[in-house]
């Protein structure tokens, strides 16, 4: 009877250890080291990009996860990094990796034609880098016609807005829109702004954090200060974690202003003479929560941004 009892105890211990072994195996499977295939995506440091253009086809439609991970592994210094996650965020891919014990977040988006943008940053070492890359022709080919139509429609709208004010066929409304559209970049050039998350799932952001409904760093890490440096670039910084100054491209449509980061895309604005105001906009987190953002002009933002050291 004693031997039988010992046998039952051994079997019980084995059963209890099985879930733990399965859990360890599962963890091993989720760890993936990214290895660059050697394909040349022509990744280079980002130069100043053009300003006003049509919104292109989403990169999440053009490139699949496998190709996106190969691009990430091809970024200078990122080969052999460990994959944490790869997520589709509206029009962009967001990839989280770890390299030499340092965590990085990478955002990849479609800029125009075969050009894509890469936004690489790490809070741990306060590093922020921007690159451009070339989308392989075989992946972009099916979307050439779609993008051409978008660009054509946008171009026609822009051209119709710049009809000479001296034309007898041009209405006062058309003349007004033409002047406003062409003056947008002049109006915003050099102006500073603040971007802040104000609501989390419809609730005041500070209140949601105090009640542990929202991430505790929501406002602290979400706030951005910046200014429109020229017709295609903004200079930005943040609070605490984003202590350095960095630049992002921006584009303008007749309805929205789009700044580098996915959170700052599709910012609705309105014109009133030579004054521009912004409406709040919303984004979704990877786990389905809704963040409402607010953008306001800030006369002190430029001096605040310029006081920060330039990120490498």
Lowest mean pLDDT, pick from 86-90, 104-108, 258-262? 258-262
Grouping H, G, I as helix, E, B as strand and the rest as coil, residue 129 is strand
Please give the Cα distance from 94 to 92 (Å, whole number): 6
Q: Summarize the confidence of residues 224-241 as an average pLDDT.
A: 81
Q: pLDDT at residue 12 above 90?
A: no
């890469």: which residue's tokens?
A: 118
CA 274 to chain centre: 29
DSSP string, 30-81: H-EE----------EE-----SS------HHHH--HHHHHHHHHHSTT-TTP
Model pLDDT for residues 159-193, shown as the tens digit of each residue? 554 444 344 444 554 445 445 555 787 788 889 99
Q: Summarize the confidence of residues 133-140 as an average pLDDT.
A: 94
pLDDT for 220 equals 77
What contacts 154, CB < 8 A, 6 or more positions away?
53, 54, 253
Q: pLDDT at residue 80 above 70?
A: yes
The set of long-range contacts for 283-288, using a CB threshold of 8 Å and a minimum separation of 24, is: 283/90, 284/89, 284/90, 286/85, 286/87, 286/89, 286/94
Please give the Cα distance from 38 to 11 (Å, whole number): 50
N residues, the chain: 312
pLDDT for 172 equals 53
Model pLDDT for residues 193-204, shown as the tens digit of each residue? 999 999 999 999
Please give the Cα distance from 157 to 145 (Å, whole number): 18
pLDDT for 251 equals 84
Q: Summarize the confidence of residues 23-27 as an average pLDDT.
A: 50
Q: How many helices (H) and strands (E) does the chain have?
A: 9, 17
Q: How confident is the model at residue 242 (pLDDT cuts 50, 70, 90)?
A: very low
Q: pLDDT at residue 134 above 80?
A: yes
pLDDT for 149 equals 73
Model pLDDT for residues 111-124, shown as the tens digit of each residue? 888 888 898 888 88
Q: Are 71 and 56 in contact (CB under 8 A)?
A: no
Please give the Cα distance from 271 to 76 (Å, whole number): 42
């100043």: which residue's tokens?
A: 48
Lowest mean pLDDT, pick from 176-180, 219-223, 276-280? 176-180
Lowest mean pLDDT, pick from 168-182, 245-259, 261-275, 276-290? 168-182
Q: pLDDT at residue 64 above 80?
A: yes
């Amino acid at each position: 009877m004693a031997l039988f009892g010992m046998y039952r105890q051994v079997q019980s211990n084995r059963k209890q250890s099985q879930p733990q072994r399965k859990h360890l195996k599962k963890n091993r499977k989720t760890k993936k080291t990214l290895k660059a295939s050697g394909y040349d995506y022509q990744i280079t440091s980002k130069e100043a990009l053009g300003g006003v253009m049509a919104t292109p086809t989403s990169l999440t439609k053009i490139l699949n996860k496998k190709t996106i991970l190969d691009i990430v592994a091809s970024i200078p210094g990122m080969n052999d990094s460990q994959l944490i996650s790869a997520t589709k965020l509206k029009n962009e891919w967001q990839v989280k990796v770890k390299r030499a014990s340092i965590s990085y977040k990478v955002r990849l988006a479609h800029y125009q034609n075969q050009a894509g943008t890469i936004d690489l940053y790490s809070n741990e070492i306060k590093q922020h880098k921007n690159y451009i890359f070339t989308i392989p022709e075989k992946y972009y080919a099916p979307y050439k016609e779609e993008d051409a139509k978008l660009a054509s429609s946008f171009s026609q709208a822009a051209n119709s807005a710049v009809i000479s004010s001296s034309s007898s066929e041009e209405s006062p409304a058309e003349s007004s829109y033409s002047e406003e559209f062409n003056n947008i970049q002049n109006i915003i050039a050099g102006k500073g702004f603040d971007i802040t998350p104000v609501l989390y799932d419809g609730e005041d952001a500070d209140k949601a954090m105090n009640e542990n409904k929202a991430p505790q760093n929501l406002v602290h890490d979400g706030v951005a200060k910046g200014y429109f440096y020229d017709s295609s670039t903004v200079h930005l910084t943040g609070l605490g974690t984003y202590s350095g100054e960095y630049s992002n491209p921006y584009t303008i449509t007749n309805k929205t202003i789009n700044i580098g980061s996915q959170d700052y895309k599709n910012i609705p604005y309105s014109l009133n003479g030579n004054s521009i105001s912004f409406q709040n906009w919303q984004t979704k987190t990877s786990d389905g929560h809704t963040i409402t953002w607010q953008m306001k002009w800030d006369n002190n933002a430029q001096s605040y941004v310029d006081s920060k050291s330039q990120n490498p």
